[in-house]
Structure 1
Amino acid sequence: MQQILRGATVTHMPLRKLFLGIGANLDDPAATLADAVGALARIPGWHVDQISPLYRTTPVGLLDQPDFMNAALALSVELPDDPAAAAL
């Protein structure tokens, strides 16, 4: 394996800031949000920098449902410079 990697060039894509809102209102919303943050943190090249406190909000539109738990995340993600490649 080392012979295959000898002479290989490792390139890193630039880190970009990404702000993401997440929310849930079924079963255990706090656990669902924690699972979502964990899943995002496991994506190679993605780094969860900050997580807001959880906020409870009432539904809008369809009112006959449980309140939502919401949070905002600040992430640093490795994305290519080429917008077309980033879309893939």
Structure 2
Amino acid sequence: MAVEAHPAHQEDAEFIPVVKTGIFIYLILLLSALAWVYYEFGDQLLQVIDDVWFLGGVGVFGAIIANSTGTGGGVVFIPAFIAIDGLARMGELSSSL
């Protein structure tokens, strides 16, 4: 006995295969990009990851601050980039102001 979708949910039932196809295509593109990066920069990749591993945490923290207050992400990102680079560039400061 086949189970059919309720008429009110028919649009949702038709939408699910499109979402699954989109996720599959996204994963294929992501894996292709990662394979290309590893092929091109495999010997340097671990060194780069070792240098910038903490930027993911800075990004998450900056997004939380920016979205929970009206200050924006520059309050977190500019000091973090100054600490990384050692010196602020005028473009970074002017966009933060």
TM-score range, shorter chain: under 0.3
Over alpha carbons, which structure has the higher Rg? 2
TM score, norm. by length of structure 1: 0.28
Structure number with the higher strand fraction is: 1
Structure number with the higher helix fraction is: 2
TM score, norm. by length of structure 2: 0.26
Greater relative contact order (Cα < 8 A, sep 6+): 1
